[in-house]
Amino acid sequence: MKRRILGGTGISVSEYALGAMMFGALGNADHEDSVRIIHRALDAGINFVDTADIYSAGESEEIVGKALKGRRDDIVLATKAHFPMGDDPNHGGNSRRWITHEVENSLRRLGTDYIDLYQIHRPDPTTDVDETLSVLSDLVRAGKVRAVGSSTFPAEQIVEAQWVSERRGHVRFRSEQPPYSILARGVEAAVLPTARKYGMGVLSWGPLSAGWLTGRYTKASDIDLSGGRAAVEKHKFDPSLPDNARKLEAVGALAKLASDAGLSLPHMAIAFVRAHPAITSVIIGPRTMEHLEDLLAGSEVELSEDVLDRIDEIVPPGTDLNRADNYYVPPSLADKSLRRR
C-alpha cells in the first residue's frame, strides 16, 4: 500500500483509509467480525483509520478501539465531532463546551489517550470558528490531539478558518474530508484547489457514491426505495427524479467504459478519485470482508489518460449530477428567513 504525507504534518498515511462508518448498528453489528475486517485492512498495509462519534452513536469508535489494542502506535487514528449526540442542543455543534466534553468521550470509546487527527464534521453557523479553533489548539497543546481537520466544509469556510488561525495564532486545519466521486465532482471547482493552496491533506469519502458505482444499479428497477439507505434518502436514489435519472444514465456509460478498459466499475471509480493530485487518501467503507477484499484488489489500479478523458466526457469536471450529493446545504439556502426581509 503506497503512502503519502498528510497535509505537511509529516504523518505518513496509506492511500486507502479505512472508514469505520459501517461498523456497528448502522452496518455490521457483529463486533468480532468488524474487528476481523479492521485487522485484515491493517495487515494489507492500511495504516489510516477514520471514524466519528456519531457513527452508530459511538459504537463504531468502540469497535475501532477494540481492534487497535496492541497496534495503536502503528496506526494513524482519525475521528470527528459535530453532530448531535443526544436531544440536548448543547450536546453537539462546534462550541468549546461541547468539543471539550466530547473529545473525552471519543478517547474513552477508542481506548486511547490521543487522537492523531481530530476533525470538525461540519460547519456550525452558531459558533464562531475562532471559538472552535481555540479549543482545538488547547487540545493539541494538551497532547490529546496531534492535528486537526475539517470535513465537508465549503471552500470559503476553509479559507476563513485558515485566515483566523493565522490572525489569532491558533493551530490550523491540516486536512479536509469532502465527498468526491465520479458522480459528485463539485469539489473539483473550489474545495480541492483551496486545500492544495493551503497545503492541506484531503481524505475523500464516498468514492462509490453511496452504492451507485458498485455495479449494483444498471436499470431503474434495480433501485429499491422500500428499504435501506434509498428509503431514507429517496431524493438521492429515486430514478423518476431528473437528477437521479442522469446518474443512472452516467452509470451505464461508466460501466461500459470500465468493461472496455478491463476493470470493474468500483475499481475504476476509486482509481479515478485517487488520481486527483489533491487527494491524500481515499476512504473506503466496507461492511463485510468480501467488500474489503474486492476493494483491496483494486488498490494498484492506475487509469490511462484516455480513460480519464472519457470519464470527463461522461461527467464533466466540477459537476454534481445530483446537488444533494455534496451533503452540505448552506444556512443561507436552508433557512428561508435568511433570504427574506
Please determine, for residue 129, whether its predicted confidence score (pLDDT) is greater than 90: yes
Instruction: Please give the average per-residue pLDDT across 27-52, as a whole number.
Output: 98
What are the distances in angstroms from CA 180 to CA 29, 92, 188, 262, 328? 27, 25, 8, 23, 13
Instruction: Please give the average per-residue pLDDT across 274-302, as a whole number.
Output: 97
State residue 223's pLDDT score. 92
> What pLDDT band is residue 77 in, cutting at 50, 70 and 90?
very high
Instruction: Please give the average per-residue pLDDT across 197-220, as a whole number.
Output: 96
State residue 52's pLDDT score. 98
Contact status, residue 295 vs residue 46, Cβ threshold 8 Å: no
**Gap between the Cα atoms of 186 and 22, Å rounded:** 25
State residue 51's pLDDT score. 98
State residue 118's pLDDT score. 99
State residue 228's pLDDT score. 82
Give just the sign of the alpha carbon dihedral 108, 109, 113, 115.
negative
Q: Could you give the residue numbers annotated as active site?
A: 55
Q: Report the DSSP beta bridge partners of residue 48.
A: 76
Grid coordinates of 119: 476533525
The dihedral formed by the CA atoms of 311, 316, 318 and 321, expressed in degrees to the nearest 10: -90
Query: Which amino acid is residue 268, in one-letter code?
Result: M
Question: Which residues does 142 contact at the CB level (< 8 Å), separation at least 6?
Answer: none
Kind and range of the H or E run holding 202: strand 201-204
SS3 state of residue 278? coil
The 3-state DSSP composition of the chain as helix, strand, coil percent (nearest 5) reads 45, 15, 40
Percent of the chain exceeding pLDDT 90 equals 93
> What pLDDT band is residue 229 in, cutting at 50, 70 and 90?
confident
Q: What is the mean pLDDT of the chain?
A: 97
**Gap between the Cα atoms of 187 and 250, Å rounded:** 19
Please determine, for residue 19, whether its predicted confidence score (pLDDT) is greater than 90: yes
**Gap between the Cα atoms of 107 and 114, Å rounded:** 7
